[in-house]
Chains A and B, each alone.
Chain A
Amino acid sequence: MSVRNAIRLGDGAAMLMRAGLAAAFIVLTSSLSFAGPAIQRVKSPGGIEAWLVEDHSVPVVAMRMAFRGGSAEDPPDRLGLANVVAGMLDEGAGDLDAQAFRTRLDDNSIALGFEDSRDLFTGYVKTLSVNRDLAFELMALALTKPRFDAEPIDRIRSAILARLKRQTGDPDYLASRLWWSKAFPATPYGRPPDGTVETVSKIDAGDLRGFVERRLARDNLFIGVVGDITAEQLAPALDRVFGGLPARAQPVALGDVRPSTAGNIFMMDRQNPQSVIVFGEAGLKRNDPDYYAAFVMNHILGGGSFSSRLYREVREKRGLAYSVYSYLSPLDEAGLIMGGVATENSRVAETIATVRDVWRSMPLTGATATELSEAKSYLTGSFALQFDNTDHIARLLVSIQLDDLGIDYIDRRNDLIAAVTQQDVLRVARRVLDAKSLTFAVVGQPQGLPADSIAEKNVE
């Protein structure tokens, strides 16, 4: 799940797409000031809170919600459960069977669906404002009265099994799986988030009901709403959508999930003309005091799309790859700094050596004054560009709550970036980057790898 790992919102996020553009959603410059959207804290009569940004310029409303706890909490013999639930909640609820439910959505142009990541289970609904009540009603049904009929379970499970099988031939998927399984052996983060053919085949309606009862509740819920709706309209709607959820979730403790990276190169032989490479090591969690310094440092290292050191050394100077990047991946229970690149089999050794050199030099030299000022200028300047549509803003509202950054975060965020000094970058580079523990997973037929590389036949 190379994409999935990376989907974590807010600043730290950076990587959305595995193909190149690391800094996909960051944006304005130091000399420009930008007033962020005004966020209202809306509380329903029943005590459910949502953050709202009103915007009546287009007759559209977007709502996003996240429940803490994702696929990492799936039982070991039911791996992929969160993913099956995500596929099933919009397949019939209340009196509406799957086709009736989908027809209501399609005929009214309502987008409604669910996604899972390692740490979260998220939902979204986007509608024209004229259909707002209906859209919210369908979301309430999906969350609190899912039917889990036999036909859609069989259909959705078949589709997931087909995807799992297809992925066993996909070098991107395999490289990611290989890396995670080695970095988190025998821990929840090391397991396949979407499960295996064996575990998914076993999942039945009882498992799905159990998930909904135990994991979707009001106390692990975070809501962001954006668009053509007022606080007065939203408050009672929150009770209608979420009031039927149980008060408390029953989270599963993940235990010790520190990554173990010892600088190995793992490789899996597959007949691709191009090897896909995933690399990474331990990083920082989102609440670490050095997080902003690490964020800026990573931008210089491999986060800045067309300006980073990795981009310059790997792509521009040597033409080794189309896409090369690094990003911070702050999970709930472990921080990571990760990256990716893909290159012709004959050039894998040179590519890995180049990445390692870049990794090694940052803690020695830190960032130059120019690198730092240009990075800060980009990161602060571009921040506001992500507020250009309702979905992006709703995502940000949810992630600010999840990361407990405060309702004034948008106004403070650029100051936090601007305060990072060269000394901070050097300190955090020394703390985080260790070329000797940077661990690689390579899928393809790489040539010239060091003799101590470890060959793997398969990965779960």
Chain B
Amino acid sequence: MIPRHRVFAFFAAMVGMAAIATRADAAVFNPRTFTMANGMQVVVVENHRIPAVTHMVWYKAGAADEPRGKSGVAHYLEHLMFKGTRIYGPGEFSRRVAVNGGRENAFTSYDYTAYHQTVARERLELVMKLEADRMTNLTLTPKLAKPELQVVLEERRARIENEPAAQLDEQVRAALFVHHPYGIPVIGWEPEIKELTARDALAFYRARYAPNNAILVIAGDITLEQVKPLAEKYYGAIPARPIAPRMRGIEPAPIAMRRVVLESPRARRPSFSRSYLAPSYRMGEPDQAYALALLSEILGGGGTSRFYRSLVIEQRLAVGAGTGYDPDVRDLSRFVIHVSPREGVELPAIEAAVDAEIARLLAEGVSEDEVDRAKKRLQASAIYARDSLQTGARVLGATLAVDGTIADVEAWPERIGAVTPAQVTEAARRVLQPARSVTGFLIPGGRS
């Protein structure tokens, strides 16, 4: 993970990878769970490699839950959650975690905001006490909130404005989701960020941060029996509050092929992307999501994938080619193909080659051997996922926060294993349609 307060614009890819990376043999993490009287679910994943624990609180509150006109407020609130409570002054949270040898951070995505610390097992109670405190006692003054807004604007400049490829992707998303808030950047649109206030952040906090809208995940050298009394003491004592349903609107069926072209004098190299509106594990046709995870591996998973072999090795049109697909979101997802052309190759030639590869796929389908190889790789990745304290906590937290279940995580290798080649071909035919797509061109040149 990255620095504090990282905005997960690309979280999609990351959790997608982690999730994929995480589930493969019969049971994956063997977590245990219970739900407290106030509605807060608690999940424990045992991992005894070192005498430490990762403690995470996930709120089902992300950028897609923001009120219209307040884009960026979920992420701004995440920054402000470190600015103090009625009990602990500004910066006190981080100071206490650090003095106790802990690492901490937080992140915001479309569907959730999560806060996490990794500490020695003996320090778990301390971080629970601090985290439970800021679930209800946050205090914000304009004096503290104002400079932080500048920090967020600098973060946006660093991630987006200074990076032509990120600017293009922001525009591609905005075109892909014609109505759903997944088309708005997680960090927010600049003119709206500039108008955000402490009052806006507090309103979002009061509307969404409550135990019945949160999940506690603890991974490490500890058992559920040890966690339970602590969880009850700190989080169980916080009363549930009514939470309004998530109102995100319904994305209409796509009917028009779209094209987004960014000419930038700061881009020194062209690049190509093609995004298709796609189902997730929870929306659209969820069964297809497992088939699409395999399709992504077959088309773009590394140096032996179809796109790499065809565009990079055989036709020598590109220096890189791959795919991205993150089905672990609450609403619809996207399936992305990206290509970096060779020097001297124009983007229309890349587009034609991508279209030819897709046409061949849709006409001939995928082979049994390709599907078997992809299954084996995805299932192996679930074993690797156990080689880390945090991965299990992240995958389980992300899944539960988008209304998935522990069973979804644990059964993932099995569900991947059950997909047939015919289902992969069928999913490709349903999703890789021009009308569902946005094509992005990044072209060096033009004026800024």
Contact = CB atoms under 8 A, between A and B. Distances in A.
Interface string B79-121: 0001000000001001100111111110000000000001010
A380 B99 CA distance: 10
B161 A273 contact: yes
Contacts of A109: 376-377, 380-381, 384
Contact of B266 (A271, A321, A378): A271
B101 A59 contact: no
A274 B265 CA distance: 15
Q: Please indicate which of the listed interface residues A162, A276, A323 has the most CB atoms of chain B within 10 Å of its own CB.
A: A162
Interface stretch (A41-49, A301-309, A401-409, A426-434): A301-309
B88 to A, nearest CB: 14
Given A270-B266, A385-B103, A102 B304 contact: yes
A232 B313 CA distance: 42
Contacts of A316: 91, 147
Contact of B2 (A19, A32, A390): A19
A390 B387 contact: yes
Contact of A322 (B123, B151, B161): B151
Contacts of B30: none
Given A103-B304, A155-B312, A381-B101, A321 B380 contact: no
Interface in A263-291: 270-274, 276
- The secondary-structure label for the interface of chain A is mixed
B154 interface: yes
B98 A307 contact: yes
Nearest to B312: A155
A318 B388 CA distance: 37
Interface residues on B, range: 35 or more
Contacts of B309: 99
A32 B99 contact: no
Interface stretch (A4-12, A163-171, A214-222, A242-250): A163-171
Contact of B313 (A57, A155, A382): A155
Interface in B271-320: 301-304, 309, 312-313, 316, 319-320
A102 B101 contact: no
A128 B376 CA distance: 12
A453 to B, nearest CB: 21
Interface string B154-196: 1101100110100000000000000000000000000000000
Contacts of A168: 268
B145 to A, nearest CB: 10
Contact of A378 (B99, B122, B157, B313): B99
Interface residues of chain B: helix, strand, loop or mixed (majority): mixed
B269 interface: yes
Nearest to B372: A107
A118 to B, nearest CB: 24
B381 A387 contact: no
B27 interface: no
B200 interface: no
B146 to A, nearest CB: 7
B240 interface: no
Nearest to A17: B2
Interface in A4-56: 17, 19-21, 23-24, 27-29, 32, 34, 55
A318 B49 contact: no
B340 interface: yes
B4 A305 contact: yes
Interface string B248-282: 00000000000000000111110000000000000
Nearest to B319: A159
Interface string A381-407: 111110111110000000000000000
Contacts of A55: 49
Given A166-B268, A273-B161, A274-B154, A305 B3 contact: yes
A321 B154 contact: yes
Given A29-B120, A106-B304, A378-B101, A169 B266 contact: yes
Contact of A99 (B2, B304, B387, B444): B304
B373 A158 contact: no
A343 B4 CA distance: 17
A373 B118 CA distance: 20
A384 B389 CA distance: 12
A59 B99 CA distance: 35
A155 B98 contact: no
23 contacts: A27-B103, A28-B101, A32-B122, A58-B386, A60-B383, A99-B303, A102-B304, A106-B302, A128-B384, A167-B268, A169-B266, A272-B266, A307-B91, A307-B95, A318-B150, A319-B151, A344-B154, A344-B157, A377-B100, A382-B102, A385-B118, A388-B388, A391-B387
5 interchain residue pairs of minimum CB distance: A381-B101, A20-B3, A319-B150, A319-B147, A109-B380
